[in-house]
Amino acid sequence: MQKRKLGKSGLEVSALGLGCMGLSFGYGPATEKEQGIKLIRAAYELGVTFFDTAEAYGPFLNEELVGEALAPVRDKVVIATKFGFKEGKPPLGLDSRPEHIREITDAALKRLKTDVIDLLYQHRVDPNVPIEDVAGTVKELIAEGKVKYFGMSEAGAQTIRRAHAVQPVAALQSEYSLWWREPEAEILPTLEELGIGFVPFSPLGKGFLTGKIDADTTFDSTDFRNVVPRFSAENRKANRNLVDVLSTIAAQKGVTNAQIALAWLLAQKPWIVPIPGTTKLHRLEENLGAAAVELTTDDLRNIENAVSGVEVQGERYPAQLQKLTGR
């Protein structure tokens, strides 16, 4: 697995990371603990050195899982986690008060079985706390040796600039894929200018770009996708056009849809590190195979031409969650 540096921060990670959320939260029942540990350790054996979690995934269960799984190789991996929700529960609202950030950091260190968090993200921008206070608190935690790097998630360009002026932002984590390209307008140019790395989550469109989901797919009652407008049966049917385009290109290259979608992201900028998640070993192996897929200039032009004619239907979040992005 090749390595990449997240912007000018100096933080070096595998070209593809592992998003661990789905092992505990969001996509149906949690994976059995031993299975989760096995998958995370398999990712490491396959070359992944970048693992993503958050207090809100569970809450707390995912951090504990990641901490236990990576304890034997802790000095060889980069662990990213996040703060920002009351009691770690998104429905309760945001909380990025400095004292709360400190509480969560100390608790996360214990759950992750480590003495330092490599990358600490603010999960969502809290309008009730000046971003300068948030960045300043993380700056203090870095000085104290509890955190190495500061990250943000789903933040708007101006907020990123204000935070970066107080404590350099190593990475922004936001949704980005062939079916959500909004970051290209303002976010990517801002990150390039400031030397900040980009960590796309949901790089496979929450599974949709793999081609395994159609209008007839039913999700578990606890699956987050049940409330996502883009995943209504009607929109899934309409959005199938994008999957069909990807399938054609993938077949021509002799790879899978997922590999094309991830290789496309890797080809956009050398400081982009996607974090696809999965609960299945064969999907993990498939996803990581994308790092070896070479897309030529012609390939990228063909993909661009093919997908530009497809208009994706439906919002990517329900209204109350959409309000938390881009601030």
Q: How far apart are the first and last CA of the chain?
A: 34
Question: Looking at the domain assignment, is residue 36 inside a domain?
Answer: yes
Nearest to 259 by CA among 297, 291, 281: 291
Output phi, psi for 5, to 5 deg: -100, 135
Can you give the CATH number for the domain in which 273 is found? 3.20.20.100
Question: Looking at the domain assignment, is residue 175 inside a domain?
Answer: yes
Q: What is the mean pLDDT of the chain?
A: 97
Taking 90 as the threshold, does the pLDDT of residue 93 lie above it?
A: yes
57 annotated active-site? yes
Taking 90 as the threshold, does the pLDDT of residue 23 lie above it?
A: yes
Q: pLDDT tens, 156-210?
A: 999 999 999 999 999 999 999 999 999 999 999 999 999 999 999 999 999 999 9
Q: Which domain holds residue 133?
A: 3-205+268-293
Question: Looking at the domain assignment, is residue 231 inside a domain?
Answer: no
- 118 touches 197 (CB < 8 A): no
Q: Among positive and negative, which fits the CA dihedral 304, 201, 286, 315?
A: negative
Q: What is the pLDDT of residue 233?
A: 93
Total residue length of the chain? 327
**Helix/strand/coil for 93:** coil
- 54 touches 80 (CB < 8 A): no
Nearest to 112 by CA among 144, 70, 154: 70
What's the number of domains the chain is made of?
1
Question: Looking at the domain assignment, is residue 306 inside a domain?
Answer: no
Q: What is the pLDDT of residue 76?
A: 98
Question: Looking at the domain assignment, is residue 302 inside a domain?
Answer: no
Exactly one of 27, 44, 57, 121 is catalytic; which is it? 57
